[in-house]
C-alpha cells in the first residue's frame, strides 16, 4: 500500500490521505511521501488549501513502534521536519481528525493551521507512559492551544480525551458528527480559512505568570509522589518554557526528550511495553493457526472469581450462562454481579441503560443441560480437585464438540483436570486475577494436550477482554503464584527473624510495589493460602514453610474478611494498624523457635523478597514454564503490582547485574533461617551471572 493513499483536488482543496495500518503510524515512508505530497500541493497553482487526513477512519496513533530504536525512526524527513513543513506552508493546511490522534499524530495535527474533528475522536499525548515527553513540539503547541492547565493534565496524565471536550479552544476549529473529511474540505474551501496571515500555534502568546503558577503547582504535586518520576517533571518544565520564545521552548523540550530516552525509568517502561507485545508470540501458534468461534460463554461457579469473570465477558458483549450448585449460591452470585455494575453506575463510569443491557446478556441456571451450546466454559468453583473432577466430568457429557473447557484454578494440575474429560486437547487453564473484571493479567495455562487452535483462541479472548494474556506451562502455581510463594515465604521468615509486618510492607511499598505482602495477604484471605499450604505439605514431605501464618489462622484472623489479619482495620480497609494480638503471637512464635530478633534494614527486606522472585523466575525459565523472561515481567507488572518503572523482576535483576544478584543470594544463604536450601542459586541464574549475561539476552 502507498503511504500516501490518496491525493486529489476537490474545489481547489488538495486532499492528502496517509495510510499505514493498523494505526497510521508515522513511519519513515509515511513522512517521506507526506513531505512529497505537501510539496506537490505547494507548487500546484490549482490548489488553494490542503486537507491532511489519515486513511481508514483514523488520523494517527503516532510514531510507528515497529521503527522504534531503528535508524528509520530518525531518518529524514524526521517528524519535526515534517511538522515544520506543515506549519510554515504558504497555503492553509487543515487537519481532518477522526478516530485516534495520539502522540506524534497530535503533534502533526497541531502544526496544521486549522483542525476539524469528529466529537468522539480521541486526542492524547501518551509519551509519559513510556517515560518520555512529546518530542516534536507537543509541549510547546498544546499549552498555546488549550491553556497550561489542560496541557499539563494531558501531557502529565497521558490519557486520551474526546475531541468534544475541546470545543471552544484553539485546538479544534470545527466539530462535526458527520463525515470529517467532507466537513474539512468544506471548511478549507470556505471563507473561514484565512490565507494571510495563516494562524499558527507557535504565534499564540501565553501569559507567563499564570503559566508559571500552573507549572509550579503541578511540580509540587509531582515531587511529592513516591518515587518521583522524571518524565512528568521534565514535561512540566518543558511546558513552562512555552512562556518564552517558541524556538527556545522547542530546544528545552528536545534536550529533555533526549535525556529521558536514556533514563532508567523510560528504558524500563519501554521494556514493559515491548514485553507485553511479545507475550502474544507463542510457540506453536502462528497467524495462520485457526481460531474457534467465541460467541457464547458459560461460567461455572458464581463466587468471587466467577462473578468477576462473568462481568468481564459481559463487558465484551458476550452472552454468558452462569451455573451454580444451588439456588441460594446463584442468587448470591447474581447479587455480586449486580453489585459490581451498580458501583460502576454510582461512580458515573457506566450508564444505567448500559448496565441493564449487559445484565440482560446473563442467563443464570442450575442445570448443565442448558449450557451445551456455549463455545467456551470457564470453571471457577472451589479449589478442590474432587469438585473440579465432578464439574469436568459433567462438562464432558453436555458440551458440544469443539467447545473450549477452561479452569480458573490457581494451583491445581491442569493436566489432571484435562484427564477428567475425553477431550483433553480442548482443555486449558484461564487464570484470572481478582477482581477479574479489573485486573489486566490473564495467565493462559497450556496443558500437555492443549491444541494450538485452543491456545490461539484463548489469546484472542485475552484481546477481546482487553487483557494481557501470558502463556504458562503446567506447574504448581504457574508463573505468578509459584514465584509469589517464594516471595511470601521470605516475608514470613523476615518476621520470624525480627522484622514487623509493617516494616516489610513499607520497605516493599517504598520500592514501588502497589501493596506490601502482609497487606496483600489480609486482602486475599489467609484461609485460601492455608488450604494451599496444607495440600503442599501433604504432597511434598520436604516442603518447608513458616507456621506463623497457620497460627494467625488459628486465632481466627483470616484477613479483612474476618475484621483483621496481620493488621487490625478499625478505620477501614485502607488503614491497617499494628495489632497487639499479632505482636504477642510473633513474640511467642520467635521464642518457640529460639530466635533472638535482630534489626533488619529495608535493603535486606527488598533484596530478599525481590531476589526470591528472581531466583524462582530463573527456575521457571529453566523448566520451560515461561517462554521468555519478558513474560515473567509482564505477569508481575500486570498481575502482582510490581512497579512498572522497574520493568518487572527479571528486567530489574538484569539492570542491577546478575553477578550482584548471585552474590546477594550467596550472602543470604549464610543465614540458613527457616529453609537452608532456599538460597541455592538457580543453575540458569548462576550460569548467566558467570557469563556476565542477562535474562533478556538469553531468552
Ligand atoms: P468462591 O468460594 O468465592 O466461589 C466458588 C463458587 O463455586 C461458590 O459460589 C460455590 O457455590 C460454587 N460451586 C462449588 N461447587 C460447584 C459446582 N459443582 N457447580 C457449580 N458451582 C459450584 O471461590 P473463588 O475465590 O471465586 O475461587 C474459585 C476458583 O478460582 C478457585 O479454583 C480458585 O483457586 C480460583 N482463583 C481464585 C482467585 C481469588 O483471588 N479468589 C484468583 C484466581 C483464581
pLDDT, one tens digit per residue, over 461-480 is 999 999 999 999 999 999 99
Give the number of other CB atoms < 10 A from CB of residue 660.
14
The H-or-E segment that residue 393 falls in is helix 385-398
Q: In this structure, are residues 238 and 230 in contact, taking their beta carbons and an 8 Å threshold?
A: no
Mean pLDDT for the stretch of residues 168-183 = 96
- Ligand 1 centroid–CA 307 distance in Å is 9
Nearest CA to ligand 1 atom 11: 329
**Residue 21, burial from CB neighbour count under 10 angstroms (0-12, 13-18, 19+):** exposed
User: How sure is the predictor about 69, in pLDDT bands with cuts at 50, 70 and 90?
Assistant: confident
Cell of 637: 507488572
pLDDT for residue 196 is more than 80: no
pLDDT at 1: 58
Which strands, in side-by-side order, build the sheet including 93-97? 4-10, 13-18, 49-54, 93-97, 114-118, 174-176
Distance, CA of 76 to CA of 563 (rounded, Å): 63
Name the pairing type of β-strands 161-162 and 297-300. unpaired
Q: Contact 412/386 with Cβ under 8 angstroms?
A: no
For the chain, give the percent of residues with pLDDT over 70: 99
Grade residue 227 by pLDDT with cuts at 50, 70 and 90: confident
Each residue's pLDDT tens digit, 446-456: 999 999 999 99
**Cα distance between residue 297 and residue 566, in whole Å:** 39
Calculate mean pLDDT across residues 495-518: 97
Strands 404-407 and 376-379: parallel
Rg of the chain taking only CA atoms, in angstroms: 28
| Cis preceding linkage at 435, omega within 30 | yes
* 489-504: average pLDDT: 98
Taking the CA of residue 326 as reference, the ligand 1 atom at the shortest distance is 11
End-to-end CA distance of the chain: 34
Ligand 1 centroid to Cα of residue 357, in Å, is: 26
Ligand 1 centroid to Cα of residue 242, in Å, is 55
Active centre residues (catalytic): 107, 127
Check residue 433 and give its pLDDT: 96
Residue 226 predicted with pLDDT over 80: no
d(CA 391, ligand 1 centre) in Å: 12
pLDDT of residue 439: 96
Which pLDDT band, with edges at 50, 70 and 90, does 574 fall under? confident
Question: In this predicted model, what pLDDT tens digit does every residue of 73-132 receive, in sequence order?
Answer: 999 999 999 999 999 999 999 999 999 999 999 999 999 999 999 999 999 999 999 999
User: How remote is the CA of residue 474 from the centroid of ligand 1, in Å?
Assistant: 20
Residues 599-632 have pLDDT tens digits of 999 999 999 999 999 999 999 999 999 999 999 9
Give percent of the chain above pLDDT 90: 92
**Residue from 466, 468, 474 nearest 640 by CA:** 468
Residue nearest to atom 28 of ligand 1 (CA): 380
Question: Above 60 in pLDDT, residue 404?
Answer: yes
- Residue with the nearest Cα to atom 30 of ligand 1? 380
Residue nearest to atom 14 of ligand 1 (CA): 381
* Cα 317–chain centre separation: 21
Instruction: Provide the pLDDT confidence category of residue 672 given band limits of 50, 70 and 90.
Output: confident
CA proximity to 69, closest of 276, 281, 279, 266: 266
My answer on whether omega of the bond before 459 falls inside 30° of 0, hence cis, is no
The closest residue, in CA terms, to atom 15 on ligand 1 is 381
Ligand 1 pocket by Cβ (under 6 Å)? 300-306, 323-325, 329, 380-383, 387, 390-391, 408-410, 431-434, 524
Question: What is the separation of C-alpha 408 from the centre of its chain, rounded to a whole number of angstroms?
Answer: 20
Please tell me the predicted confidence (pLDDT) of residue 225: 83
Task: Judge contact between 67 and 75, C-beta under 8 A.
Answer: no
Are the C-beta atoms of 286 and 363 separated by less than 8 Å? no
Mean pLDDT of 336-364: 97
Mutate to test the pocket of ligand 1, among 309, 312, 336, 382 (most ligand atoms within 8 A of CB): 382
pLDDT surpasses 90 at 2: no
Cα distances from 35 to residues 8, 195, 343, in angstroms, run 16, 21, 50
How far is residue 55 CA from its own chain's centroid? 28
pLDDT of residue 699: 57
Q: Classify the phi-psi angles of 674: left when phi > 0, otherwise alpha if psi is within -120 to 50, otherwise beta.
A: left
Q: Is the dihedral of CA 112, 116, 118, 120 positive or negative?
A: positive
Query: What pLDDT, on a 0 to 100 scale, did the predictor assign at position 161?
Result: 96
The sign one gets for the Cα dihedral 99, 101, 105, 108 is positive
Q: What is the DSSP letter of 114?
A: E
Amino acid at each position: 500500500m502507498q503511504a500516501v493513499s490518496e491525493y486529489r483536488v476537490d474545489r481547489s482543496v488538495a486532499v492528502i490521505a496517509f495510510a499505514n495500518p493498523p494505526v497510521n503510524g508515522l513511519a519513515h515512508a509515511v513522512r517521506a511521501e507526506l513531505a512529497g505530497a505537501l510539496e506537490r500541493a505547494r507548487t500546484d497553482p490549482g490548489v488553494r488549501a490542503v486537507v491532511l487526513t489519515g486513511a481508514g477512519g483514523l488520523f494517527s496513533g503516532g510514531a510507528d513502534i515497529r521503527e522504534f530504536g531503528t535508524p528509520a525512526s530518525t531518518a529524514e524527513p524526521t517528524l519535526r521536519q515534517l511538522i515544520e513543513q506543515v506549519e510554515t506552508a504558504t497555503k492553509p493546511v487543515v487537519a481532518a481528525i477522526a478516530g485516534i490522534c495520539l502522540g506524534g499524530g497530535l503533534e502533526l495535527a497541531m502544526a496544521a493551521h486549522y483542525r476539524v474533528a469528529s466529537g468522539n475522536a480521541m486526542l492524547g499525548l501518551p509519551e509519559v507512559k513510556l517515560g518520555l515527553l512529546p518530542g516534536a513540539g507537543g509541549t510547546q503547541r498544546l499549552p498555546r492551544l488549550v491553556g497550561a492547565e489542560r496541557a499539563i493534565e494531558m501531557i502529565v496524565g497521558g490519557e486520551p480525551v474526546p475531541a468534544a471536550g475541546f470545543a471552544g479552544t484553539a485546538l479544534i476549529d470545527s466539530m462535526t458528527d458527520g463525515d470529517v473529511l467532507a466537513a474539512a474540505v468544506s471548511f478549507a474551501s470556505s471563507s473561514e480559512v484565512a490565507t494571510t496571515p495563516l494562524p499558527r500555534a507557535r504565534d499564540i502568546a501565553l501569559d507567563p505568570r499564570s503559566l508559571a503558577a500552573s507549572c509550579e503547582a503541578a511540580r509540587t504535586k509531582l515531587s511529592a509522589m513516591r518515587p518521583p518520576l522524571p518524565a512528568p517533571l521534565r514535561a512540566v518544565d518543558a511546558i513552562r518554557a512555552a512562556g518564552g520564545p517558541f524556538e527556545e521552548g522547542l530546544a528545552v523540550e528536545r534536550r529533555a526528550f533526549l535525556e529521558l530516552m536514556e533514563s532508567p525509568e523510560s528504558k524500563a517502561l519501554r521494556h514493559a511495553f515491548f514485553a507485553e507485545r511479545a507475550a502474544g508470540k507463542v510457540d506453536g501458534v502462528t497467524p495462520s493457526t485457526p481460531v474457534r468461534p467465541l460467541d457464547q460463554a458459560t461460567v461455572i461457579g458464581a463466587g468471587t472469581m466467577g462473578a468477576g469473570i462473568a462481568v468481564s465477558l459481559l463487558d465484551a458483549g458476550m452472552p454468558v450462562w452462569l451455573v451454580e450448585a444451588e439456588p441460594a449460591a446463584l442468587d448470591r452470585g447474581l447479587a455480586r454481579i449486580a453489585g459490581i455494575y451498580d458501583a460502576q453506575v454510582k461512580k458515573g463510569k457506566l450508564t444505567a441503560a448500559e448496565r441493564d443491557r449487559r445484565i440482560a446478556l446473563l442467563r443464570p441456571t442450575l442445570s448443565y443441560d442448558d449450557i451445551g451450546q456455549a463455545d467456551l466454559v470457564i470453571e471457577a468453583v472451589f479449589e478442590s480437585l474432587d469438585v473440579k473432577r465432578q464439574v469436568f466430568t459433567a462438562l464432558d457429557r453436555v458440551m458440544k464438540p469443539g467447545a473450549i473447557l477452561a479452569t480458573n484454578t490457581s494451583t491445581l494440575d491442569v493436566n489432571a483436570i484435562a484427564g477428567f474429560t475425553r477431550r483433553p486437547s480442548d482443555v486449558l487453564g484461564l487464570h484470572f486475577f481478582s477482581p477479574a473484571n479489573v485486573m489486566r493479567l490473564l495467565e493462559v495455562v497450556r496443558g500437555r494436550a492443549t491444541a494450538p487452535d485452543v491456545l490461539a483462541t484463548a489469546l484472542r479472548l485475552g484481546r477481546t477482554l482487553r487483557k494481557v494474556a501470558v502463556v504458562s506451562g503446567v506447574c504448581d502455581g504457574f508463573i505468578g503464584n509459584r514465584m509469589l510463594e517464594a516471595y511470601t515465604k521470605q516475608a514470613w521468615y523476615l518476621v520470624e527473624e525480627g522484622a514487623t509486618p509493617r516494616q516489610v510492607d513499607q520497605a516493599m511499598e517504598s520500592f514501588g510495589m502497589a501493596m506490601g505482602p502482609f497487606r496483600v495477604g489480609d486482602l486475599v484471605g489467609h484461609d485460601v493460602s492455608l488450604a494451599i499450604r496444607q495440600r503442599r505439605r501433604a504432597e511434598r514431605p520436604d516442603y518447608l514453610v513458616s507456621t506463623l501464618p497457620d497460627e494467625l489462622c488459628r486465632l481466627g484472623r483470616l484477613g479483612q474478611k474476618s475484621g483483621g489479619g496481620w493488621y487490625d482495620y478499625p478505620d477501614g480497609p485502607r488503614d491497617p494498624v499494628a495489632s497487639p494480638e499479632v505482636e504477642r503471637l510473633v513474640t511467642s512464635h520467635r521464642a518457640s523457635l529460639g530466635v533472638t530478633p535482630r534489626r533488619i534494614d529495608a535493603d535486606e527486606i527488598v533484596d530478599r523478597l525481590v531476589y526470591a522472585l528472581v531466583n524462582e523466575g530463573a527456575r521457571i525459565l529453566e523448566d520451560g514454564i515461561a517462554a521468555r523472561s519478558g513474560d515473567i515481567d509482564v505477569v508481575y507488572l500486570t498481575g502482582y503490582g510490581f512497579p512498572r518503572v522497574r520493568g518487572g523482576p527479571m528486567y530489574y535483576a538484569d539492570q542491577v547485574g546478575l553477578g550482584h544478584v548471585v552474590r546477594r543470594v550467596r550472602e543470604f544463604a549464610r543465614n540458613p533461617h527457616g529453609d537452608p536450601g532456599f538460597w541455592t542459586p538457580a543453575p540458569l541464574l548462576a550460569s548467566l551471572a558467570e557469563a556476565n549475561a542477562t535474562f533478556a539476552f538469553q531468552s
